[in-house]
């Protein structure tokens, strides 16, 4: 028995909208009231779109009345501020884009609007998606709804926190090294990094182009599947978006796990820094899958120990190249005292970018410079190929890989701020999937002694998100973790 409309899953809300039991206006109003009540505690939003959201809700109600109620029609959603929204400020969490208003919608936004979804706001993030805690935002720190002294994860921390707190029914984020899955894990929601090439990046502000993917957050596996269904598919405007058919993800949810082989990477459970509570929750989850008929097989990913090191060469290299466009000429901030051209570049970029972004630009520029390119970017790319080969071999022995999403539950705000290396290790289990381009999903699988959510990560073969949804849904159906809500 639902108390408030904002607590509904997308699938539940759709059922009620379609049969006229609720209106999108009432649903959107409930979400906006929830934002007014709890946003001061969570700080997930950079822009709240009250007026346009209510207009979109009314348009959705007219569409429903006309018999056109699609799965996302009238559903209030939040969008990570890395995705361009026409006429709506898109900051990428950076002062350098504080006043940037895109003249176009990202492909994924066009898809959501075509369905009549309601966009309630733009969500906080680590600047240019660089971070694991949302503390690197140029604007504010988002807090974890389960414990507001803790980080929500990152870089899509605003998306995960807003969803967990009931301030939207679903959200989009981006994942370059774990930025959808890790905050999903810390906030107790489902997050998906689709296969590289599954979702168009047209209108996604680029971080590391060989790794970036847009991915959905849902309060259930079914909701994440509905959102991916809406945004997946070929787009000629993104040359890396692969023209393969998009299956019916909701149909994939009806499958069970009998006879499926679940691969457990030997290296991950022995990983240093794995919190015992996380290890225990993941082990219990695998046992649960076994009790549902899955078979456990041990696999090995021998090059996985290099993944973080390789990532912190490849991602900064690509970032240094992508972020060269923010020079004070065409986009965003220009220093108030520009001086000559070189001074204008230097002052604009020094003032506009935060410390972590500057650190990565410096590392990337160094690694790409003449004489170092082969030793760093070239070498990292070779090791990346070995990581790809590891997964190829592993998937000969199993259908899906299961492991922790993050090594620990959410940590305290400020705890890792002066130690970038420890922060980088937050993504030790998520980065490999980006390296290999394979799809991966995080879903709630337990709680720590202090009441913080723990996530189980599932990884699959290229373009087989269906397998992840099938296994995740079977687990979700057999457990209660996804039904708990933070007491805000
Ligand atoms: N935490 C990683 C980084 O800082 C991953 C971020 C992401 O996936 N966008 O780069």
pLDDT per position as a tens digit, 181-213: 999 999 999 999 999 999 999 999 999 999 999
378 DSSP 8-state letter: I
pLDDT band at residue 420 under the 50/70/90 scheme:
confident
pLDDT at 2 > cutoff 90: no
Tokens of 209: 């182009």
Q: Is the beta carbon of 177 within 6 A of some atom in ligand 1?
A: yes
What is the C-alpha radius of gyration for the chain, rounded to an integer number of angstroms? 21
Provide the percentage of residues in the chain whose pLDDT is more than 70: 100
Distance, CA of 387 to CA of 435 (rounded, Å):
7
Distance, CA of 301 to CA of 435 (rounded, Å):
13
Report phi then psi at 147, rounded to 5: -165, 105
Report phi then psi at 90, rounded to 5: -130, 105
For the segment 402-431, the average pLDDT, to the nearest whole number, is 94
Report phi then psi at 320, rounded to 5: -65, -35
Burial classification of residue 288, based on how many CB atoms lie within 10 Å of its CB (0-12 exposed, 13-18 middle, 19 or more buried): middle
Q: Using DSSP bridges, classify how beta strands 440-447 and 453-459 pair: parallel, antiparallel or unpaired.
A: antiparallel
pLDDT of 1 reads 53
Which atom number of ligand 1 is nearest to the Cα of residue 129?
A: 9
Is the pTM here over 0.95, yes or no?
yes
> Residue 365 belongs to what H/E stretch?
helix 355-368
Query: What value does the mean pLDDT of the chain take?
Result: 97
pLDDT of 422 reads 86
- Give the residue, out of 131, 133, 405, 442, with the most ligand 1 atoms within 8 A of its beta carbon, to mutate for a pocket test: 131
For the segment 141-150, the average pLDDT, to the nearest whole number, is 98
Catalytic residue set: 80, 155, 179
Contacts of 141 (CB under 8 A, 6+ apart): 43, 134, 135, 151, 413
Q: What separation in Å is there between the alpha carbon of 288 and the centre of ligand 1?
A: 30
Q: What separation in Å is there between the alpha carbon of 191 and the centre of ligand 1?
A: 15
**Phi-psi domain of 328 (left: phi exceeds 0; alpha: psi -120 through 50; beta: other):** left
Give the orientation angle of helix 50-65 with respect to helix 10-18, to 10 degrees.
50
Residue nearest atom 10 in ligand 1 by C-alpha distance: 130
Residue 390 neighbours by CB distance under 10 Å = 22
Q: Is the beta carbon of 190 within 6 A of some atom in ligand 1?
A: no
Provide the percentage of residues in the chain whose pLDDT is more than 90: 95
Contacts of 191 (CB under 8 A, 6+ apart): 156, 160, 173, 175, 180, 181, 183, 184, 185, 215, 216, 217, 224, 441, 442
SS3 254: coil
Distance, CA of 50 to CA of 119 (rounded, Å):
9
Q: Using DSSP bridges, classify how beta strands 45-48 and 400-404 pair: parallel, antiparallel or unpaired.
A: unpaired
Burial classification of residue 214, based on how many CB atoms lie within 10 Å of its CB (0-12 exposed, 13-18 middle, 19 or more buried): buried
Instruction: Please say whether the beta carbons of 456 and 134 come within 8 A.
Output: no
Q: Tally helices (H) and strands (E) across the chain.
A: 17, 11
Which atom number of ligand 1 is nearest to the Cα of residue 315?
A: 10
- Taking only the tens place, the pLDDT of each residue in 42-98 is 999 999 999 999 999 999 999 999 999 999 999 999 999 999 999 999 999 999 999
pLDDT band at residue 270 under the 50/70/90 scheme:
confident
Q: Is the beta carbon of 131 within 6 A of some atom in ligand 1?
A: yes
- Taking only the tens place, the pLDDT of each residue in 227-258 is 999 999 999 999 999 999 999 999 999 879 99
340 DSSP 8-state letter: S
pLDDT of 130 reads 98
pLDDT at 272 > cutoff 90: no
Per DSSP, the residues of 348-361 read: HHHHHS-HHHHHHH
- Taking only the tens place, the pLDDT of each residue in 362-382 is 999 999 999 999 999 999 999
Q: How far is CA 117 from the centre of its chain?
A: 19
Distance, CA of 201 to CA of 84 (rounded, Å):
10
Q: How far is CA 303 from CA 182, 308, 318, 465, in A?
A: 21, 10, 22, 24
pLDDT of 466 reads 98
Q: First and final CA of the chain: distance in angstroms?
A: 20
Distance, CA of 216 to CA of 228 (rounded, Å):
6
Q: How far is CA 85 from CA 107, 134, 163, in A?
A: 10, 21, 19
Q: Is the beta carbon of 133 within 6 A of some atom in ligand 1?
A: no
> Residue 163: which of 87, 75, 258 has the closest Cα?
75
Q: What separation in Å is there between the alpha carbon of 182 and the centre of ligand 1?
A: 9
Tokens of 420: 């970038």
SS3 452: coil
């Amino acid at each position: 028995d639902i108390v408030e409309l904002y607590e509904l899953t997308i699938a539940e809300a759709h059922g009620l909208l379609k049969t006229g039991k609720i209106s999108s206006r009432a649903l959107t109003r409930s979400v906006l009231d929830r934002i007014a009540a709890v946003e001061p505690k969570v700080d997930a939003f950079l822009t709240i779109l009250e007026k346009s959201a209510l207009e979109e809700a009314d348009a959705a109600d007219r569409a429903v009345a006309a018999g056109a109620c699609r799965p996302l029609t009238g559903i209030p959603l939040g969008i990570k501020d890395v995705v361009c929204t026409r006429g709506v400020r898109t900051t990428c969490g950076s002062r350098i884009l504080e006043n940037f208003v895109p003249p176009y919608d990202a492909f994924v936004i066009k898809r959501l609007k075509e369905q009549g979804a309601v966009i309630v706001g733009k969500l906080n993030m680590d600047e240019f998606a660089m971070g694991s805690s949302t503390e690197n935002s140029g604007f504010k720190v988002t807090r974890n709804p389960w414990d507001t002294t803790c980080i929500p994860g990152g870089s899509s921390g605003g998306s995960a926190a807003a969803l967990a707190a009931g301030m939207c029914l679903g959200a989009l984020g981006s994942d370059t090294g774990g930025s959808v899955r890790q905050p999903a894990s810390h906030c107790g929601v489902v997050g998906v990094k689709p296969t590289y090439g599954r979702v168009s990046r047209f209108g996604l502000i680029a971080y590391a182009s060989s790794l970036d993917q847009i991915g959905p957050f849902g309060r259930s596996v079914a909701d994440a599947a509905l959102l991916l269904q809406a945004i997946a598919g070929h787009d000629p405007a993104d040359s890396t978006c692969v023209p393969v058919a998009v299956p019916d993800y909701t149909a994939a949810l009806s499958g069970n796990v009998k006879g499926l082989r679940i691969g457990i990477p030997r290296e991950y459970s022995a990983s240093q820094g794995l919190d015992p509570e996380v290890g225990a929750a993941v082990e219990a989850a695998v046992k649960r899958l076994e009790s549902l008929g899955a078979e456990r097989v041990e696999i090995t990913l021998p090059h996985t120990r290099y993944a973080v090191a390789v990532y912190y060469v490849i991602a900064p290299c690509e970032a240094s190249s992508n972020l060269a466009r923010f020079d004070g000429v065409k986009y965003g901030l220009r220093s108030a005292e520009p001086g000559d051209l070189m001074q204008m570049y230097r002052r604009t970029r020094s003032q506009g970018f935060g410390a972590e972004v500057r650190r990565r630009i410096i590392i990337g520029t160094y690694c790409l410079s003449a004489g170092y390119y082969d030793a760093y970017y070239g070498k990292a790319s070779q090791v990346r190929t070995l990581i790809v080969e590891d997964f190829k071999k592993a998937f000969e022995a199993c259908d899906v890989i299961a492991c922790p999403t993050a090594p620990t539950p959410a940590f305290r705000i400020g705890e890792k701020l002066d130690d970038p290396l420890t922060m980088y290790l937050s993504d030790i289990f998520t980065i490999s999937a980006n390296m290999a381009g394979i799809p991966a999903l995080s879903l709630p699988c337990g709680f720590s002694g202090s009441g913080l959510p723990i996530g189980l990560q599932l990884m699959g073969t290229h373009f087989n998100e269906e397998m992840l949804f099938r296994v995740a849904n079977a687990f979700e159906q057999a457990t209660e973790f996804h039904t708990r809500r933070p007491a805000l």
